[in-house]
Amino acid sequence: MSEGADSRGGHPFRLSHLDVLESEAVHIFREVAGEFENPVLLFSGGKDSIVMLHLALKAFAPAAIPFSLLHVDTGHNFPEVLEYRDRVVARHGLRLHVASVQDYIDRGVLRERPDGTRNPLQTLPLTEKIQSERFDAVFGGGRRDEEKARAKERVFSLRDEFSQWDPRRQRPELWQLYNGRHAPGEHVRVFPLSNWTELDVWQYIAREDIELPGIYFAHEREVFERAGMWLTAGEWGGPKAGETVETRLVRYRTVGDMSCTGAVDSDATTLDAVITEIAASRLTERGATRADDKMSEAAMEDRKREGYF
């Protein structure tokens, strides 16, 4: 029986679950770096992609991350998040690609939806960018605990030349032997946070003392109610006539397009307070804050089939 202790986790036989998840995610990042020509990391400035970037920095330290970032910009982003994104990119000397939904709308390729949400419009700019830049591995921050279609997702998920996901034709995934083989034009979506839960992400952010955009913490904001959610008032198209703006103390559990990402009432201004709040919440992250997942019972599965991340 070998004995040993590391600097942080204590006895190696009792690594904490965060240590195990961190180690596994780093393994996944390194596998992709070892086997693919041109990976890219989807970076939205949300907490999951921020944790992914942190893990990637650790995985290749003291060298730089051997891939670039890609942001799908819906044109309805929170300004605080864009500011955070640009600051992080500059600090680490990273290369950022941007796929712009607004650009597609301006060119007439995509049309604004009647409900104003741009979340489903992200799929085309994303998949075209993957093709034009010839990315062969695309890291996403998707977690299996988010949604029941995502619970079926592999860590390495092969997508065809149209970026489609076919849940019935997924490769079995055994041990930690990830199969990234793909034909030209195909790519692999890679999910290093597959086995993390929302609470794991927050506990890890606290443990590693990772900086987040301020909108994740309670702040006063002008919001209005639509479909049972608090949406931010702004140039993107809200409020409509009949919707009343009020100032409330809120924070965000997810960060996405302003038109479909709701805020939650909260007085959690610190990481500890957020963790306490998440642990006690009776709603899932998406159930609480995402309008687009409420469209149908299989909304996520249907979007993923088309190439959504």
Partner 1 sequence: MTISTEQPARRAAPAEATLLRFATAGSVDDGKSTLVGRLLHDSKSVFADQLEAVEQVSASRGQDVPDLALLTDGLRAEREQGITIDVAYRYFATARRRFILADTPGHVQYTRNMVTGASTAELTVILVDARHGVVEQTRRHAAIAALLGVPHVVLAVNKMDLVDYAEPVFAGIAETFTAYALGLGVPEITAIPISALAGDNVVEPSAAMDWYGGPTVLEHLESVPTGRESAARHARLPVQVVIRPRTPEHPDYRGYAGQIATGTFRVGDEVKVLPSGIGSRISGIDLLGVGVDVASAPQSVTLLLEDDIDISRGDLIVPAHDVPALGRNIEATVCHLADTPLTAGRRVLLKHTTRTVKATVEEITSRLALDDLTHHADPGQLVANDIGRVRVRTAEPVALDAYADSRHTGSFLLIDPADGTTLAAGIVTD
Residues 196-235 interacting with partner 1 (rule: CB under 8 A)? 197, 199-200, 203-204, 206-207
Distance in Å, CB of 226 to partner 1, minimum: 17
Q: Count residues contacting partner 1 (CB under 8 A)?
A: 80
Q: Report if residue 118 touches partner 1, rule: CB under 8 A.
A: no
What's the per-residue H, E or C state across 68-131? EEEEEECCCCCHHHHHHHHHHHHHCCCCEEEEEHHHHHHCCCCCCCCCCCCHHHHHHHHHHHHH
- Output DSSP code: residue 15: -
Distance in Å, CB of 304 to partner 1, minimum: 10
Cβ proximity to partner 1, 55 vs 223, nearer residue: 55
Helix (H, G, I), strand (E, B) or coil at 220: strand
Cβ proximity to partner 1, 106 vs 166, nearer residue: 166
Q: Where are the alpha helices (DSSP H) in 169-295?
A: 198-208, 271-280, 285-289
Q: Report if residue 1 touches partner 1, rule: CB under 8 A.
A: yes
Q: Which of 108, 174, 220, 235 binds partner 1 (CB under 8 A)?
A: 174
Which range, of 11-19, 106-114, 229-237, 248-256, touches partner 1 by CB under 8 A? 11-19
Cβ proximity to partner 1, 97 vs 152, nearer residue: 152
Q: Report if residue 273 touches partner 1, rule: CB under 8 A.
A: no
Continuous segment of H or E residues that includes residue 41: strand 39-42
Continuous segment of H or E residues that includes residue 18: helix 17-35
Taking the alpha carbons at both ends of the chain, their separation in whole angstroms is: 44
Which range, of 40-48, 212-220, 260-268, 293-301, touches partner 1 by CB under 8 A? 293-301
- C-alpha 94/C-alpha 49 separation (Å) is 14
Residues 14-53 that bind partner 1 (CB under 8 A): 14-24, 26-27, 30-31, 33-34
Residue type, 69: L
User: Residues 48-87 vs partner 1: string with x where CB under 8 A?
Assistant: ----------xxxxxxx-----------------------
Which range, of 68-76, 102-110, 174-182, 264-272, touches partner 1 by CB under 8 A? 174-182
**Angstrom distances, CA of residue 300 to CA of 88, 125, 150:** 29, 18, 8
Q: Report if residue 181 touches partner 1, rule: CB under 8 A.
A: yes
Nearest Cα neighbor of 262 from 241, 275, 276, 248 is 248
Cβ proximity to partner 1, 73 vs 147, nearer residue: 147
- C-alpha 111/C-alpha 270 separation (Å) is 40
